[in-house]
Structure 1
Amino acid sequence: MKYKKIRRSLLKTMLGGLVLAFAVTPVYAEKLSKVRIGVATAGGGEPITWGGSPGAVARINGWVEEAFKDDGVEVEWVFFKGAGPAVNEALSNKQIDFAYHGDLPSVVGRSNGLKTRVLLISGARNNLYLVTPVGSDIKSINDLKGKRVSIFRGTNGHLVANNLLAAHGLKERDIKGINLDSGSAQAALASKSVDAAFGGQELFKLRNQGLIDIVHSTQGKEPVFTRQAHLHVRDEFANAHPEAVQKVVDTFVRAADWASDEKNREALFRLWARSGTPYESYVAEFENQDLAVRNSPLIDDFIVGRYKEVVSDALELKLIRRDVSVDDWFDTRFLQKALETQGLTHRWTRFDVTGKPQQQAKVATVASGG
């Protein structure tokens, strides 16, 4: 009798434990039905896409959808006119799982407690341009003091613009900064509502229409004045669905390989032009630059160094309130597996913290007797 009571007591305890285990099982442990990828730009075209990034190749060709087809998993792409800051909000609210994002807004998100992992680079060394309406008396960055200048605050171009101002002895407070997104900045330039604007390759369209002049370009200059973009994922999603993360990374690496092939240069630019930014704009943006350097997915010393500098600069400019760690932010396991699986381990050159090829840096050190 006593034995039966003990057995019943043990059985109740075991059943209670099972009920509790199921009760606390996270939602993401359920079968995955949808993968949501956010993109920090309004995009354009039909279907909506963007340009300048290998990720856009995967988007336009439907490679992510193809990877999940047999699993019956839906792939949803979400584009944000509010760019980086809007993507941070969506990540915080768990409205997206992955994000194509710029360096500064991601650092801001991390400083505010967003838990993500940077998986790979998808658009390295993006240039920044200072442009003015045609006929302006502004001929260089030195002429910007007191002028109405469009800067899309919170984006990866914001910090580079500040660094360019600093290199010319100016601070953002020395100009009349106006926060405009890319489309609004173009309209303001065309109507001469601003004196100048910082922006990217989208501005070549206005130049080719004879509406603006480019008075400063970071193209071909020190890589510290370039912007980086990446693909990252929410920690919660990665912990629950590592196999899905691997599939997304696999397709982005496949796209990076295709976008790095010089034989595909014209096809690549025409593919990106489906976003609404003209083919000629990409020709100008990538002039005299190797596709394999700009479209490499690698997280090398240069990339890690740039993100550390972004943190440092953002702190100095009070764009973030506290320091954030960088080294433990990058999770290269999925990237490494994709490179090995696709036979791409030696596909791209790795760069040192200054932006020079690592092998070249080693040779220089040996030659100097170091």
Structure 2
Amino acid sequence: MKKNKIIALLALSVLVAGAAHAKAKQKVFRLGSASGQVRAFDSTVGIAQKLGFLEEELGKAGYKIEYSYFENGIAINEAFIAGDIDAATIGDVPAFTGYANQIGTVWIGSLSSFSDIAILTRKGSGIKNPRDLEGKNVAINIGTNAQFTFENYLTFHGVDRDKLNIINLTLINHPPAFASGSIDAAFGSAPFLLNAAAEGVADEFYTTKQNPEWSCQGLILASKRFLKADEKALVAFEKAVIRAREELIKNPERWYKTFSGGAIANHPELGDRLYNRDNGRFRDLILRIGEQEIKKGQELYNLLFKLGRYKTARDVNGFVNNSIYEQAEKELKAQGFIITE
């Protein structure tokens, strides 16, 4: 009996030691979001997080996921430079700014080709047309994804930038700035600002629904260093997001809130306005970076280069890497997973 107890204890110690060794070997995948702590991860990545797909796929690949939240894409770029994150969801302007400055990131996925930007105006501001913006306090978080819309909108309508009192303000601070009367207008993410308009904080003035070509893109970036060393983690990550995309396409009503970062939580009527169910809008959420996404990215880069925001002209094809998506799709299909084309 004593001998059997010793054998059992030895077996148990081997199992415990094995489990501890496996845990010690588990690597960490650090994912950043440019949407801030309040909005956290949105789009299909948010769905993958809520359904546990990220933990599941990365766990199978031997990784634990850690989430980091940043107020904007500028902070995401700083985190990449510091080596604090391995991948991130980010808006197009900061993403291409990082590429322009060669900070060591690569574009591995497209979250959305048409993320709308809105303009809100303060109640009683007297702004009736674009030229009325001149002489007013206009908020925009410079260097974020609203800037592409901002530059195109002002140029198209002949608004003199030098006559705007531009206030560089993070998106989360736009509503309180309207409430205090310190700003007259703001450019920013449509899901966030239209929710503020629905709350009566300010009036809706414009959205890029009128000019889809001025809307922004949502990107997935990875550190080149991490891509080289831990490609399988990025493949696992994109497998989780592909699965989440299929969930969104099949059950859009269920996932509107998560997809918009919770922005339409109290105003579900905004779902139809932000994400048109009849035009296949959700089907644009294909992770593979296509010609449309590259063309739009090049137009953005060229505009900001022309305006002197970037010092060097670059071909954005040098920023693109579709191999991660292609491998993720290949592995899912081999497992019998059906992917909507």
TM-score, normalised relative to structure 2: 0.84
Whether the 8 Å CA contact 1:141–1:216 is kept in 2: the answer is no
Partner of 2:126: 137
2:25 counterpart of 1:38? no
2:206 counterpart of 1:216? yes
RMSD (Å) for aligned C-alpha atoms:
2.3
Distance apart, 1:276 and its partner CA: 5.7
Partner of 2:5: none
Distance apart, 1:93 and its partner CA: 0.8
SS state of the match for residue 87, structure 1? helix
Partner of 1:270: 257
Separation of aligned partners in 2, 1:177 and 1:289:
35
Question: Which stretch of structure 1 is more off in the superposition, 300-309 or 278-287?
Answer: 278-287
SS state of the match for residue 56, structure 1? helix
Partner of 1:13: none
> How do residues 68-107 of structure 1 correspond to structure 2 at under 5 angstroms?
68-70=58-60, 72-81=62-71, 83-107=72-96
Separation of aligned partners in 1, 2:202 and 2:273:
15
Question: Which stretch of structure 1 is more off in the superposition, 332-341 or 268-277?
Answer: 268-277
Q: Which amino acid in the other structure matches residue 202 of structure 2? A: I
Cα–Cα, structure 1 residues 290 and 43, in superposed 2: closer, same or farther, change >3 Å? farther
> How do residues 155-166 of structure 1 correspond to structure 2 at under 5 angstroms?
155-166=144-155
Equivalent of residue 293 in structure 2, options 267, 288, 303: 303
Separation of aligned partners in 2, 1:58 and 1:346:
15
Cα–Cα, structure 1 residues 157 and 325, in superposed 2: closer, same or farther, change >3 Å? same
SS state of the match for residue 125, structure 1? strand
SS state of the match for residue 138, structure 1? coil
Q: Which amino acid in the other structure matches residue 29 of structure 2? A: V
Separation of aligned partners in 2, 1:274 and 1:222:
23
Encode CA deviations 1:136-171: one digit per residue, 9 max, x unaligned.
311222211111100111101112111111110124
Whether the 8 Å CA contact 2:288–2:326 is kept in 1: the answer is no
Partner of 1:314: 304
Partner of 1:252: 241
Separation of aligned partners in 2, 1:50 and 1:236:
23
Cα–Cα, structure 1 residues 215 and 256, in superposed 2: closer, same or farther, change >3 Å? same
Encode CA deviations 1:28-74: one digit per residue, 9 max, x unaligned.
xx9661000011121327xxx333x1111112222111112245522
Distance apart, 1:134 and its partner CA: 2.3
Q: Percent identity?
A: 24
Q: Which amino acid in the other structure matches residue 28 of structure 2? A: K
Equivalent of residue 146 in structure 1, options 131, 135, 145: 135
Whether the 8 Å CA contact 1:204–1:284 is kept in 2: the answer is no
Whether the 8 Å CA contact 1:269–1:283 is kept in 2: the answer is no
SS state of the match for residue 114, structure 2? coil
Whether the 8 Å CA contact 1:54–1:123 is kept in 2: the answer is no
SS state of the match for residue 37, structure 2? coil
Distance apart, 1:188 and its partner CA: 0.8
Cα–Cα, structure 1 residues 73 and 297, in superposed 2: closer, same or farther, change >3 Å? closer
Partner of 1:177: 166
Distance apart, 1:109 and its partner CA: 1.0
SS state of the match for residue 169, structure 2? coil
Separation of aligned partners in 1, 2:316 and 2:338:
24
Cα–Cα, structure 1 residues 345 and 266, in superposed 2: closer, same or farther, change >3 Å? closer
Whether the 8 Å CA contact 2:246–2:339 is kept in 1: the answer is no
Q: Which amino acid in the other structure matches residue 325 of structure 1? A: D
Count of residue pairs brought into register by the alignment: 311
TM-score, normalised relative to structure 1: 0.78
Separation of aligned partners in 1, 2:208 and 2:287:
21
Gaps of 5+ in 1: 1-29, 349-370
Partner of 1:58: 48
Cα–Cα, structure 1 residues 202 and 77, in superposed 2: closer, same or farther, change >3 Å? same
Gaps of 5+ in 2: 1-23
Q: Which amino acid in the other structure matches residue 109 of structure 1? A: G
Q: Which amino acid in the other structure matches residue 294 of structure 2? A: V
Q: Which amino acid in the other structure matches residue 179 of structure 1? A: N
Q: Which amino acid in the other structure matches residue 264 of structure 1? A: N
Q: Which amino acid in the other structure matches residue 216 of structure 1? A: Y
Cα–Cα, structure 1 residues 314 and 183, in superposed 2: closer, same or farther, change >3 Å? same
Encode CA deviations 1:318-351: one digit per residue, 9 max, x unaligned.
2222223311211111212333443489734xxx
SS state of the match for residue 251, structure 2? helix
Separation of aligned partners in 1, 2:238 and 2:332:
12
